[in-house]
Amino acid sequence: MKKNLLISVWMTLVTTVLFGVLYPLAVTGLAQLLFQRQANGQLIERDGKLVGSHIIGQPFSSPWYFHSRPSYAGTGYDALNSGGSNLAPTNHQLLERVQADAAKLAAENPGAPIPVDLVTSSGSGLDPDITPAAAEFQVPRVARERRISEAEVRRLVAAHTRGRDFGVLGEPRVNVLELNLDLDAAHPRR
């Protein structure tokens, strides 16, 4: 009995050190060595200033920017509190919020079908991308607010549209932060 207890204690200590300390340090070290940009959150800097991350969404509310998907992560796009609303499709709070968002979007672009990702949040609440349809829906507003042609805005959207990974995985998408940064660089708001 005493021998088994001693073996259990030693096994617990050894596996804790191996898998709780050495393994995480090795994986972190390799990630920093081989994939430094990804390991550090794919941060985006402009003019020496941190402006966001390629993989974490952020809110844009000004009419001259493309807007991200709604977020329920904390106070919105809070990586420490990621997650969806967990409200059922029949929940009155969710229905009222979606209807209010849809009414606002319908007023912005009358007659155009509203892409579902502009009124629903992602599972994590941190999605940095929107669908090409959601970007296209916002083109008239952004062009009008920036006083540039819709064709120029569509050209920028097309430049930021990524297809499926390896041609089959995922869906086509547009990174909102990168698109808005390029809009600011190419066509600052007047």
* Residue 59 and residue 21 share a domain: no
* Residue 119 and residue 32 share a domain: no
* Residue 129 and residue 181 share a domain: yes
The pLDDT, as a whole number, for residue 155 is 95
Tokens representing residue 145 in the block? 């607010």
pLDDT one-digit tens code per residue, 104-137: 998 888 888 999 888 888 777 778 889 999 999 9
Question: DSSP E strands: which ranges in the chain?
Answer: 43-46, 49-53, 129-130, 161-162, 173-175
Structural domain boundaries enclosing 9? 1-40
* Residue 90 and residue 158 share a domain: yes
Total number of domains constituting the chain: 2
pLDDT one-digit tens code per residue, 163-189: 888 988 989 999 999 999 999 888 887
Instruction: From 56, 28, 57, 53, select the one nearest 42 (Cα to Cα).
Output: 53
C-alpha–C-alpha distance, residues 84 and 76, integer Å: 10
SS3 45: strand
* Residue 57 and residue 2 share a domain: no
Q: Which of 25-29, 41-45, 136-140, 153-157 has the lowest mean pLDDT?
A: 41-45
Nearest-10 crossing angle of helices 150-159, 132-146: 140
Higher-confidence position of 84 and 70: 70
| Model confidence pTM above 0.85 | no
* Residue 65 and residue 3 share a domain: no
* Residue 138 and residue 94 share a domain: yes
* Residue 135 and residue 78 share a domain: yes
